Structure 1
Amino acid sequence: MVAEPNWTHREPPNDPVSAFGIGNVAVAGRGRVVAEQQLGPLFTDHRGRIDLPALAVLFDHLGGLPYFRSGPSTTPCVQARLSMAMQGHVGIDDRITATADLMMRDDSFGSTRVDITTSTGHVCCTGTARNVAVGRSYDEAPSKAPGLGPTPGTAYTHGVDLPPAIEPHLSGREIVEQIASGALAGGPIVDLLNGRVALIDHDRAAGVRFTVTTEPWMGNLFGTMHGGVIASVAAQACSFAGQANAAAGVDYQLGDLAIGFLRSPAVRGTDVVVEVAPIKVGRRIASFEATMRAQDGLLLSTATADVIYR
């Protein structure tokens, strides 16, 4: 049996921003917004590693703020698409900084570039967000939308035990099978997302099904799932697919994720399901496609991802 995660000294999250240790949001010039995220063991995967899923909420949240602030009295908006590319590994305990610059805007659409850097100044993730204005009203006051506030300290992000080391003789398929059976821990970020994984065979390669039970804290200001949480869920599903196709002793990283948001699911305790299928699996790189559906089968999101093997 896998030991239960150590949730000592942890308050239930209120929203995606606080759940992922994001704060210190500030306007840094015309069309530019910056924010910080305090990382920690809470956001590590089954390998005890910080990977792209841990950065997706920061990327999406900041990716919409410059366009949101660009209108005469703030512009209600959502992201239609995110394109994220990892540029190296990130330390477990790092405090990262994201900078979002509005590159284009009109009354209907915007485009934002997002760069995330480590505490040493290394760019660890880059990409773009496509913003679209919407006519919906907020569930909360628009003044709360920028998510201002101090960055949570390490007492929040570090109050979880890292998963135990994985035996190096296990193949990636065996690792995912053991996570699915409960013999291995899925990782703190999977616990945070209420996720569970199952293996799916596709001819000579493996895919996965990643199921997440929604909670109210995952919602955005419109009362549906935050785009960053959707991206984090899809990215974690693709990460498991990358693991499932890795040979024993081979390391991997989720290098690229492009995700389109079609509909946003409710966050009232129902399940969302991501199915990941291999497009091509090679020795150095594997490409996957992912679809997220609601419990009733409604298509919510589509994504493609590349996993890098080393």
Structure 2
Amino acid sequence: MSVAGEQENVSHTIVESGVADRDRPRDPVTAFGIGNVATGEGGLVTAEQQLGPKFADHRGRIDLPAIAVLFDHLGGLPFFASGPGGSPCVQARLSMAMQGHVDVSDRVTGSARLLMRDDGFGSTRVDIATSTGHLCCSGGARNVAVGRTFDADPTRERGVGVPPSGAHDGIHLPPAIEPGLTGRQIVEEIAAGVRPPGPIAELLNGSVALVEHERGAGVRFTARTEPWMGNVFGTMHGGVIAAIASLACSFAGQANAVAGADYQLGDLAIGFLRSPAVSGGDVVVEVVPVKIGRRIASVEATMHGSDGVLLSRAAADVLYR
């Protein structure tokens, strides 16, 4: 892939996916433990996701990337269900804001409702709450009507019934991170293969490289596509794109953290320009720091295909505590 700008001091490693020895998921909904999709009064659509260690990051934490597929999937369902026989759509943009902590093995519930709809566009609000009823993520999706044919109607129940609470499929959380390490050192260890990248990175066939910039540390995150990542149109599900891009932004947040700092990916706005094929090629996310502050780091991310075609752009804020 060709990317603009010169970059120095790049270290990387290719991470062999930890899911290679297990049965491959058949679609993003199955892969991310999403089920119990239902439509209620007024077109409200709900779904549940059973989290677990397989969706944790390198810290053993559940962060925004873990619920991106649920958010995007719900973001399109009300529009899809709004017309007779179905109204196919894609999301042009997602705006996600995390509202607090999510336990590793929590069962979260998402709800989505159309705010507006016309023949060409829609706007959908999405809220995700923990099992205790605490709102943990909120935001919106911009829907765009398309004339594509599709293999399966996503407004009907897809994927799996929600797995039993606490199921972890034999996956264990990564080892604790030593508090004396800086974020840069942590990412360098992941890039060198000394430290695991986390189960969600392995699920996405991910590898990370540290990239130095004038304003701070950036990263290059590479993910190998697979057929299970596809949507009903046969290209990559928007939630998987968002998960890959947000995970890359999370690594950039880690790379700019001082020793002992905790962080969360607080906000993500991502625009989908083209949907990648899921035929085994790589997608590459370049994350560049915009401003690194003591409390907030702002970064920008671009995703390209292996042919250099721009696929998506995102902006994210990392919150330090």
TM-score, length-scaled by structure 1: 0.95
Quote the residue 1:137 is aligned against. Answer: 149
Question: Partner letter of residue 178 of structure 1?
Answer: E
Q: CA contact under 8 A between 1:38 and 1:95: conserved in structure 2? A: yes
Per-residue displacement from partner, 1:55-83 (whole Å, max 9, x unpaired)?
00000001100000001111011000000
Residue 44 (1) aligns with residue 56 (2): yes
The one of 92, 112, 128 aligned to 1:116: 128
Q: Which residue is 1:278 aligned to? A: 289
Partner SS, residue 55 of structure 1: helix
Tell whether the 8 Å contact from 1:41 to 1:188 is kept in structure 2 after alignment.
yes
Deviates more, 1:239-248 or 1:5-14: 5-14
Deviation of the 1:203 alpha carbon: 1.0
Contact 1:5 / 1:161 at 8 angstroms: preserved in 2? no
Q: Using the TM superposition, name which of 281-290 and 144-153 deviates more.
A: 144-153
One-letter amino acid of the structure 2 residue matched with residue 124 of structure 1: C
1:25/1:149 contact within 8 Å kept = no
CA 1:7 to 1:135, structure 2 compared with 1: closer, same or farther past 3 Å?
A: closer
Give the corresponding residue for 1:30: 42
Moved more, 228-237 or 147-156: 147-156
Q: In structure 2, what is the Cα distance between the partners aligned to 1:5 and 1:276?
A: 22
Cα distance between partner residues in 1 of 2:193 and 2:21: 25
Counterpart mapping for 1:183-202 below 5 A: 183-202=194-213
| CA distance in 2: counterparts of 1:29 and 1:149, whole angstroms | 23
User: Secondary structure, in 3 states, of the residue corresponding to 1:164?
Assistant: coil
Q: Please say if residues 6 and 159 of structure 1, whose CA atoms lie closer than 8 Å, have aligned partners that are also in contact.
A: no
Aligned counterparts of 1:269 and 1:98: Cα–Cα separation in 2 = 30
Find the aligned partners of 1:122 and 1:80 in 2 and give their Cα distance: 28
Query: Secondary structure of 1:305's match?
Result: strand
Q: Distance in 2 between matches of 1:29 and 1:201?
A: 51
| 2-structure distance, mates of 1:129, 1:136 | 19
Deviations 1:95-130 (A, max 9, x none): 000000111001111110000000000000000000
Aligned residues: 308
Matching of residue 307 in structure 1 with residue 314 in structure 2: no
Equivalent position to 1:172, from 183, 188, 204: 183
Structure 1 residues 296 and 75, CA gap change in structure 2 (3 angstroms): same
Counterpart check, 1:208 vs 2:211: no
Distance in 2 of aligned mates of 1:85 and 1:296: 32
List per-residue Cα deviations over 1:119-163 (Å, max 9, x = no partner): 00000000000001001111x133776527521235754420110
Match of 1:78 among 86, 90, 96: 90
Relative to structure 1, the CA distance from residue 145 to residue 76 in structure 2 (aligned partners, 3 Å threshold; closer, same or farther) is farther
Unaligned runs of 5+ in 1: none
Q: What are the ranges of 5 or more consecutive residues in structure 2 without an aligned counterpart?
A: 1-14
RMSD: 1.9
Partner of 1:61: 73
Tell me the equivalent position of 1:98. Answer: 110
Q: For residues 215-254 of structure 1, what are the structure 2 equivalents within 5 Å?
A: 215-254=226-265
Shift in Å, 1:30? 1.7
* Structure 1 pair 48–248 and aligned structure 2 pair: CA distance change class (3 A): same
Aligned twin of 1:263:
274
C-alpha offsets along residues 217-268 of structure 1, whole Å, 9 cap, x if unaligned?
Answer: 0000111100000000000000000000000000000000000000000001
2:59–2:177 Cα contact (<8 Å) kept: yes
Query: Which whole-Å CA distance do the structure 2 matches of 1:132 and 1:255 have between them?
Result: 26
When residues 149 and 13 of structure 1 are mapped into structure 2, their CA distance, relative to the original with a 3 A threshold, is closer
